[in-house]
Amino acid sequence: MSKNIFHICWIALENKANELRSLIEQGWRADIACMRDSEYGHGGPALSPELMIRLARLGIELWFDIYFYGAYELMEKEKNTFGGR
């Protein structure tokens, strides 16, 4: 996602901060999931202190779903080997 689009998304979220907090207080969950595929396992996402502060102020949890090259094939192989579903 380009920085410009990301910035627009933040403006939209921060403009609705009170509504978002109200939903969280009512028991709703606010999170952002980032999926990452990595061919070699190097590099990855970096979060600036400013971004972490902004997420915390909004009460938004950030989590990563990380897969490595070949993981899908390995899971399928293990499933077939051990009779998994």
Q: What's the length of the chain?
A: 85
pLDDT for the residue numbered 27 = 93
Average pLDDT over the chain, rounded to whole? 78
Q: Is the pLDDT of residue 79 over 70?
A: yes
Q: Is the pLDDT of residue 67 over 60?
A: yes
Q: What's the pLDDT tens digit per position in 23-49?
A: 999 999 888 888 777 777 677 777 888
Domains of the chain, by residue range, sit at 3-82
Q: What is the C-alpha separation between 62 and 59, in angstroms, rounded?
A: 10
pLDDT for the residue numbered 28 = 92
